[in-house]
Amino acid sequence: MKTIVLCANYDKLSQIETTLKSLFTNNKDIRVYIINSDISHEWFVNINSFLNNINSKIIDKKIDLNRFNKLPELKEDNRSKIEYGKFLIPELVNEDKVLYLGNNTIIDKNLDKLFATDVNDKPLYATVDFVHPDKFNTNVMLINNIYWRNNNIGNQFLELAKNYDFIDDQTMINNGFGINIGKLPEIYNYQISFGNSNFELTNSYLYYEDTVDKPAIIQYATDYRLIRENSPKRLNKKWWNYYSSEWSEVVARVIPNRIKKNFDKEALIFLNYAENHGAEELIKQLPNIHFNIVSKRDLYAGLDVLTQNENVTLYPQILNYHLKSIIEKTDLCFDIGYGDKDTYIETVLNMLDIPTFAFSDTQYSEKGNNYYVFESMGDLINQVNKLPANNSRKTFDDVFDISVKSIDETLDEIIENKKSVVRIGDGELDLIYGEDIRYQHSNSKLAKVLKDCILNNHNSKILTCLPDIFTNLDRYNEMRGYYALGVLPKFSDLFKEIEKSKYSYGSTFMSRMYISFRDKSKSQHYVDKLRDIWKDKDILIVEGEYTRSGVGNDLFENAKSIQRIICPAADAFNQVDEIEEAIRNNAQNKLILLMLGPTAKVIVNDLQDLDNQILDIGHIDTEYEWFKMGAKYVVPIGKNKHMAEVADRYLGEEDNPQYQKEIILKIKKK
C-alpha cells in the first residue's frame, strides 16, 4: 500500500480535504497519515467510511504542538508550526517510503509510477524549485524513511531550527542534504507561484510553467492564488472542481465537471487600469459570452467582484505567451478600458480582424476595420448579437505573407552556394524605427542601410535573413509571446513593405538555433552543419571587445587557423570605415566571420567586391555555450565574455594565451 503524509490543523481542513478528494479520485490502495493537533476524529471516521470501498484509509496522527514551543515561526505568513510535523515522519510513520505533500496541492493523475521510484540511494527525492532551480522544492518530497529513521534526520532538523529567528524550511532541507537529493520529473510538483506579491519572475519559472504540459501534482503557492488565474491552463478551476466533489463521487471515480460551462463565444477585455465603461453590465447582459478580462498589471481591486459571474475569468499580470493563446481563441473584443491603450494589443486585434466594440469615451484613436464605436450600451449589445454564430478566426500564420527559409535550408544555401549572410533581428528593426539598442545608438545612416538590406538587396552573393516568426510560432518557448504581441505588431508597417518584395529570406535563427526552441532535438544537427562551414579553413573573426567567440569552448577548434580583429563593444558603426579597411588588409583567402551587431550587416554589404565569403553569425558563441551546457532556458554562461541577454558587468581582460595570440589588431573606441 502506498503511503502519503499531510501536516495540517483544522484551519486548513478545506484545503486538505480538497487534496484528499483529488488524490482518491485518481488513486486507490493509499494510506494517508494526517499529522495534526486539533482535527476532530469524527471527521476521519466519516471519510474512511467512503474510502473502505477503494482499499484506502486516512489515519489520525495527533501531536502536542507544545513540542514546537521553542521553535521559530515559519517564514511564510500563511503557514503554522504544525508543518514542523514533517520532521516527525520517521517517528510517527512505520512505512519505508513516504510521499509528503504540502497544503494547497491537488493530485490530478495516478501516482503509481511515482511510487515505483527507487529511493534507497537518496534520503529524499523532489523536483527543482521553478523560481530558484538551484534548489529543490520541498512541498512535495518522496522520502526514504529508512534513511531518515536510521540517521535521526527529523530530530536533527528540529534542533537546527532552534538556531533561526524564523524558518525557511526549504532552504534548511536543501542545505542539509545538498547534492544528495534525488531529482523527480517536474510533473510531480507543478508550482503555480505567479500572483504572489513577493513572486520573482525568473527565466526558469517561465520555462517550467510553460513546458510542463499535464502535471500529476499541482501546488498552489498561496491561498488567494486559488481565486485568480494568470494562465489559460485554468488550473484554479481544477482545484474548485475537486473541492466541490462529493465523497460518494470520489470513490465512484465519477467527478462531474461543475466548473466548466460551454459558451457561444469567447470575448477579450484588455485593461491597463481597473476603471472601465460598463464591464459589469456587459457581463450580465451577455451571459452566453465568456469574458476573459486580462491585464499585464496587478488589477485585483474592483475587478474581483466580476468573478462572481459564471462567464468571467480574470487574468491579472498576464504574460505575453498566455495572452497569445487567449487571443487565438477570441471571437470578439470589448475596448472599454479608460486611460492609456496598449497600442500593440490594438494592432494585433486589427491584424487578426477580431471584431472590436468600444464606446466613444474609450475608443482607440487609430480605428481599424472591424472596429465599432457606440454611444449607448443598448446599441453596442444589439450589434454584438448580430455577429454570426460561427465566424472563422484568423491566426498569426495568416497575417504576413513573408517567406523565410528553415534553418536547414539557410545553412544549405551558405554551404552549397557559398552565400554571404546578413542577419536582421529585432535589434536591427528597432534601429530602423529610430530607437537605440543597448550596444548601438540610433543613427539615420545606419537605419537606411539596414532597411535597404531587407527591401533592396538584390546581390546574388548575399542571403538576407529575417526572424522566422511569420508561421508556426508555437515551436518557440515563451518567446512566442514576445514575437506575437511585440515584434509582429511593433514592426507591422515594415513587414507590410517586406511582403511586397516576394524575396525568400534566410532564417536569422541560423546562429540562434538553440535556446528559443521548445524542441531542441535538432540542435546537434544544426551545430554540426555550422561547424562544417569553417572546417579546415583559415578564418578571420571580427568581433566586439568582450564577445570572445570560441574562447573556453571548441566551437572553432576544427578551423585550420584563427585570426581576430577586436572592435569596440558599443557603437562600432561609428568606426565602420576603419573596421572595413582592417578587414580588407587581412582578408586574403579567409572565411570572414562577423560578430559585431548591426555593424556586421553594413560590412557584409560594403565588402562584396572581395572574393571572401562573409558571414554575420552574431550570438553563435552564447547559443553554443547553452547547447553544450544542455541549458533549458537563459542562464549566465559563467565566462568572461559578452551575453546579449544581460548587461556586460565586470568583464575584464581575457588572459587566455591562445586568444591573445589570435588577435592581429585592436580597434579602440574613439
Q: pLDDT tens digit string along 524-541?
A: 999 999 999 999 999 999
Residue 171 to residue 76: CA distance in whole angstroms: 13
Q: Which strand (E) or helix (H) includes residue 181?
A: strand 181-183
User: Which contiguous run of DSSP H or E holds residue 606?
Assistant: helix 597-606
Chain centroid to Cα 145, Å, comes to 35
Element of type H or E holding 307: none
Do 2-252 and 265-394 fold alike per CATH? Answer: no
In the chain, what's the furthest Cα-to-Cα distance?
90
Cell output for 648: 556586460
C-alpha cell at 203: 527565466
Q: Which residues does the chain have with pLDDT short of 50?
A: 224-226
Give the C-alpha separation, 447 to 428, whole Å: 8
User: Residue 653 has what pLDDT?
Assistant: 82
pLDDT tens per residue, range 223-265: 544 455 666 677 878 888 899 999 999 998 876 666 667 899 9
Quick one: pLDDT at residue 452? 95
Q: Where are the alpha helices (DSSP H) in 377-443?
A: 377-385, 407-417, 426-432
CA–CA dist 389, 387 (Å, integer)? 6
Give the strands of the sheet with 332-335, arranged side by side: 312-315, 289-294, 265-270, 332-335, 356-359, 371-374
Give the Å distances, CA to CA, from 341 to 328, 432, 510.
20, 24, 36
- Give, in degrees to the nearest 5, the angle at Cα 149 between 148 and 150: 95
How many C-beta neighbours within 10 Å does residue 190 have?
25
Q: What topology does CATH give the domain 265-394? A: Rossmann fold (3.40.50)
Q: CA 210, CA 219: separation in Å to the nearest integer?
A: 15
Cα separation, 449 vs 453, whole angstroms: 6
Contacts of 267 (CB under 8 A, 6+ apart): 286, 289, 290, 291, 292, 330, 331, 332, 333, 334
CA triple 104-108-113, angle to 5 deg: 115
Give the SS3 label for residue 553.
Answer: coil
DSSP 36-91: ESS--HHHHHHHHHHHGGGT-EEEEEE--GGGGTTSPEESSTT--GGGGGGGGHHH
Nearest to 71 by CA among 82, 60, 58, 56: 82
For CA atoms 318, 322, 326, 328, the dihedral sign is: positive
Q: Looking at residue 79, what is its pLDDT?
A: 74
Residue 198: predicted pLDDT: 57
Instruction: Give the domain ranges of the chain.
Output: 2-252, 265-394, 403-666
* CA 420 vs CA 246, 407, 414, 555, 659: distances in Å: 68, 15, 7, 20, 25
Residue pointed to by grid coordinates 536591427: 428
Q: Which of 235, 215, 217, 216 is nearest to 226 (CA)?
A: 235
The confidence score (pLDDT) of residue 103 equals 85
In sequence order, the 6+-apart residues with CB closer than 8 A to the CB of 198 are none
What pLDDT score was predicted for residue 80? 85
CATH architecture under which domain 2-252 falls: Alpha-Beta Complex (3.90)
- Paired sense of beta strands 538-544 and 420-423, if any: unpaired
Would you say 540 and 592 are in contact if contact means Cβ atoms under 8 Å apart? yes
The tens digit of pLDDT for each residue in 267-321 reads 999 999 999 999 999 999 999 999 999 998 877 667 888 888 889 988 888 889 9
Residues 510, 511, 512, CA angle at the centre, nearest 5°? 95
CA–CA distance, 371 with 503 (Å, rounded to integer):
33
What pTM, to 2 d.p., does this model score?
A: 0.89
Question: Does residue 131 contact residue 199 with C-beta atoms inside 8 Å?
Answer: yes
112 contact partners, CB below 8 Å, separation of at least 6:
2, 27
Nearest-angstrom CA–CA distance, 253 and 54: 10
